[in-house]
Chains A and B, each alone.
Chain A
Amino acid sequence: MRVRHRDGALEPVDVTRIVTAVARCADDLDQVDPLRVATRTIGGLYDGATTEELDRLSVQTAADLIGEEPQYSRLAARLLAGLIADEVAGQGITTFSSGIRYNHELGLVSDATARFVAAHAAELDVLVDMSADRRFEFFGMRTVHDRYLLRHPHTRLVVETPQHWLLRVTCGLARDVAEATELYRLLASLAYLPSSPTLFNAGTAHSQMSSCYLVDSPRDELESIYERYSQVARLSKFAGGIGIGFSRVRSRGALIRGTNGRSNGIVPWLRTLDASVAAVNQGGRRKGAACVYLETWHPDVEEFLELRDNTGEDARRTHNLNLAHWVPDLFMRRVHADEVWSLIDPDEVPELPDLWGADFEAAYLAAEAAGRFVRQLPARDLYTRMMRTLAQTGNGWMTFKDAANRTGNQTAEPGNVIHLSNLCTEILEVSSDTETAVCNLGSINLARHLVNADAEAGDNGADPADPAARMDWAALRATVRTAVTFLDRVIDINYYPTPEAAASNPRWRPIGLGVMGLQDVFFALRLPFDSEAARELSTRLAEEIALTALERSVELAREHGPHPAFAQTRAAQGVLHPDHFDVTPTQTARWAALRAAVATHGLRNCLLLAIAPTATIASIAGCYECIEPQVSNVFKRETLSGEFLQINGYLVNELKHRGLWTTAVRERIKAADGSVQSIDELPDDVRALFRTAWELPQRALIDMAAARMPYIDQSQSLNLFMADPNIGRLSSMYAHAWASGLKTTYYLRSRPATRIQQATVATSITQAVPSPSAAEAVACSLENPETCEACQ
């Protein structure tokens, strides 16, 4: 077997060289066998392959072994980091500052960042900590390489290493070296990451760093609708996610006075929006994405529900848009009471979108009494359709208008109304025809705030009696303070793609600080997700983060003044977010001091907290997503970078300790779609700990979210999971979510109706697993794991 070198020479492939290279990366990975990686790599090669192919194949070979031994994930990440370093060095980039110079000349890095780095080159160059690369898992490193590192405009080679990237982001936000040191060290530790737009764009020539834009519904006229398309396109271009209302636009059949014709309703407009969103390619990194919000009284709501169906007339479908219901309390009450619901045209009663609570109900009831509705139907019929759409498409998210406005800090004065949430249902901010709400996000990796966070996953001496003692609260406070500082900083230096966005953000200065890795914490502390101790700890964490964030915002207000619209907020009237809920915070003295400080100095930010889904940044940080339970002990991620196996490292350690990490057990877990409930060798408490989202009572997820709600002044991207949904259980679940005071919910996740026959699991196992019928899938659900025979 020969390989072709860069100069064209053919040479026999050198096993020892590969072994040495692998061993160097694996010095702290005791389960890795360098010789095995080397021989497998050579086995997959063809005669005359290039050395680049050899290097790439060695990364892939290591990655292919992750399913057997998770340590190969770190190895693959490090081998890939080596390739990246070679690629960057091959272009003459030796230090961070020389890279910035190079990338500035290419037009990639902004003038300001280039100047800042040039002025502090020596101090910044020594900050770079190459060993921080060792914290990455393979999927994280791969994601960084494929999508986050800057690339040469023509050769498409990467022109920064992962650590250069984090420091570039830092230098795009910091004002001096002390600040840069503080932020870079935090990012390199993976204890906190700002959201993707900031990671993509900070320090570059296109510094659009905000994640979310909330675009108010177009006015009920042609010009306004087309103006919104243009606004959405410009916001999408630089990686923003869009929420847009459509409740002001008249429904099908309404009169168009200008032409004396009848309107075709909102569906054709949404089709155009759909095409427009799909056409915008966010810098080649991902497609545009948007969510449309519609109030439940809009007469087109039933057609809206069908937009994502994959049957029916394609001219009335939108495959790219996400859909959400902006539900008033009155509707939910009528569903409960089994009463009639009136669909009212916004052309007829145009004030409805701008009203909530008692004012909305008065206007709605008056219109209804006067017969100014298009038609009526039983509220339960509509609710049933909403539930069915959730089950069929996962879309049609339930978000609650009145809870959002009642507890919103910005809605103290009439006219300041929250009309919608964003693409991921965690942002709740006021918007209007002239103001598009903006939010920049960041998430704390809770897994990195455990005492001994660097200890191997699952390997700890937790005292289950006092899980809070295992959290590093001082480190958490420090992280929150740094995070708030730089989320606030984004507002001042951000590039706003539209005047409507630029009009809103400097007035209100909202930020969205969230968390990820909650499931890691629960695994490390051995707390089942639905235990009271887990809920208690989750609530304490939320309180600590909210309190510290507010304290930091007061300090920023003392330095720079409160945000200009502070006088219009509930906080200015002395009302803080927890006051809307029936709770007593644990840190009463700090809250009292905070209240006094807010009264004196105001707040720099009208809103501070929002739990985003963190899909991509959790991958980079190597932790579980936001506040979510694990979806499976073994699953794969499909992204534009390829497919990646993800294994629960906490479970692997548990199985290893028990001598159960064998091929047979692995196959059984795989055959059971990542469930360990059929692994009888594990004691009950261990199986309870490692349940998946499908196996947990969803009531516990909702109750945990409700318990932290007082400390989240915006909202949470709360996914709910039901393997085999039916209308009865769904209607019960969403009624409970509403009654618990949740402001929003996100996807309903369900399982495929049937699945592909497994290709690699031995047939003796799969033959016993027929494609589950609906009845069998119900038996599989977690209420009765003992009676489930489908997967034994």
Chain B
Amino acid sequence: MTTIIHETTTRPDAPATRRPRGLLLDPGMNLTLRPMRYPAFYDRYRAAIRNTWTVEEVDLHSDLSDLHRLSDAERHLVNRLVAFFATGDTIVANNLVLNLYRHVNAPEARLYLSRQLFEEATHVQFYLTLLDTYLPDPDERARAFDAVENIPSIRAKAQFCYQWIDSLGDLDRLSTREDRRAFLLNLICFAACIEGLFFYGAFAYVYFLRSRGLLHGLASGTNWVFRDESMHMEFALDVVATVRAEEPDLVDAAFEADVRRMLADAVDVETSFAEDLLAGGVAGMTVADMRRYLEHVADRRLGQLGFTPLFGSTNPFSFLDLQDVQELSNFFERRVSSYRVAVEGSISFDEEF
């Protein structure tokens, strides 16, 4: 059995003869899990499984009464936001299938990506359920799901994403240095700009509303989505770091300039989205503050990639401090969300506790 796997993974093109296990981006479908080349990816896979949640656990019951309490401006914000969520995760899932899974050639990494795909599906299901709950009118619902076509600020975000999906085109294999650079840019776009910036922007609105006591169902589901997304981003950045360690020459000044331009574009696109969302005037959240927050997040992403900051902005939203702090749930209010799935060990009566 092992022999067969080795045969199928032996690449015909030359460099592999010196490195029999190959590089992460070498084309192919490596099936060998032992010895494991990237145990950190496998650990991430297992950690993700411990975070399993289901849409049925999210309690949307108080949201419906909150929706009636919202001002017109706030309702506009919520509708736009949910419309973005409805399509955002689908785009990420598509890129995962079309590009990442194909090119990241390590079975342990593909285990993680499979898990991520499942999580993206859960997110899509969550926002589907949310839209069905929030928008009882079928026409309004259809318009929201079609946001990519008919809402310009969301269309602009989708176009930004497509630009980096299409840039990989129909590459079946990452044969050249240019191919691999294009792949890295795609990966960074999805990790740092889409999951790491667009979603972080969207989550900020949700947490802003929650800090005002609004839409707990949206917030508690989003909390779990956010937890998943931050893991996805960390995994992707881990892949970037691994590839850079294996092939240091891929990243040079020109590449860095591309990344900086990409993040600057993403901040602009997301700021336009903020202008749309906040058009009605929402006390406590301004476009200027939102932009500062996005710049701050973009700088963090650059920092995670080992680049210097672009903006030097600080986070203006103190309600986001709350997101970094452990929660203490009162079961009269809501369910405790922080339970775990895998527990190990066997019975004993003399362990310390």
Contacts and interface: CB of A to CB of B under 8 A. Distances in A.
A287 B57 CA distance: 15
A725 B348 CA distance: 13
B211 A392 contact: no
B231 A754 contact: yes
Interface in B190-229: 200, 207, 210-214, 216, 220, 223, 226-227
Contacts of B332: 241, 286-287, 289, 615-616
B324 A761 contact: yes
A770 B207 CA distance: 24
Interface string A601-643: 0000000000000011000000000000001101111111111
Interface residues of B, number: 79
A583 interface: no
Interface string A748-783: 001111111111110110010011011000000001
Interface stretch (A92-100, A263-271, A730-738): A730-738
A674 B324 contact: no
B347 A384 contact: yes
A47 B281 CA distance: 8
Nearest to A641: B213
A670 interface: yes
A638 B323 contact: no
Contacts of B337: 752
Given A67-B321, A698-B353, A763 B303 contact: yes
B343 to A, nearest CB: 4
A43 B318 CA distance: 13
Nearest to B209: A642
Interface stretch (A53-61, A182-190, A357-365): A53-61
A321 B303 CA distance: 46
Contact of A643 (B50, B303, B319, B343): B319
B335 interface: yes
A383 interface: yes
A286 B54 CA distance: 23
Contact of B285 (A44, A335, A383): A44
A505 to B, nearest CB: 22
A336 interface: yes
Nearest to B284: A44
A638 B281 CA distance: 26
A732 B348 contact: yes
B51 A754 contact: yes
B216 A640 contact: yes
Interface residues of A, number: 94
A615 B325 contact: no
Given A49-B283, A756-B226, A750 B340 contact: yes
B139 interface: no
B344 A774 contact: yes
Contact of B326 (A616, A673, A732): A673
Contacts of A726: 343-345
A643 B210 contact: yes
Contact of A725 (B214, B231, B343): B343
B333 A639 contact: yes
Nearest to B213: A642
A49 B330 CA distance: 35
B52 A311 contact: yes
Contact of A759 (B200, B336, B349): B200
Contacts of B57: 310, 319
A727 B325 contact: no
A279 to B, nearest CB: 10
Contacts of B335: 319
A722 interface: yes
B47 interface: yes
A278 B62 CA distance: 12
Interface in B291-343: 297, 300, 303-304, 315, 318-343
A392 B334 contact: no
A638 B334 contact: yes
A754 B50 contact: yes
A276 B184 CA distance: 53
Nearest to A52: B283
A774 B343 CA distance: 10
A347 interface: no
B281 A49 contact: yes
B346 A728 contact: yes
A310 B52 contact: yes
B234 interface: yes
B283 A753 contact: no
20 contacts: A46-B281, A64-B319, A67-B318, A311-B54, A384-B346, A387-B347, A632-B328, A636-B325, A642-B213, A670-B324, A726-B345, A727-B344, A727-B346, A732-B353, A752-B227, A756-B227, A760-B324, A763-B300, A763-B303, A771-B234
Interface of B: 43-44, 46-48, 50-54, 56-57, 61-62, 200, 207, 210-214, 216, 220, 223, 226-227, 230-231, 233-234, 278, 281-286, 289, 297, 300, 303-304, 315, 318-353
Interface of A: 43-49, 53-54, 56-57, 60, 64-65, 67, 146, 241, 278, 286-287, 289, 310-311, 314, 319, 322, 335-336, 380, 383-384, 387-388, 391-394, 615-616, 631-632, 634-646, 670-671, 673-674, 697-699, 722, 725-733, 735-736, 747, 750-761, 763-764, 767, 770-771, 773-774, 783
**10 residue pairs, one from A and one from B, having the closest CB atoms:** A753-B50, A726-B345, A642-B213, A46-B281, A727-B345, A757-B230, A64-B318, A728-B348, A752-B338, A758-B324
Given A310-B53, A753-B50, A753-B341, 16 more contacts: A45-B283, A67-B321, A241-B332, A319-B57, A392-B343, A671-B324, A699-B353, A722-B353, A725-B343, A726-B343, A732-B349, A754-B48, A757-B234, A759-B200, A771-B44, A774-B344
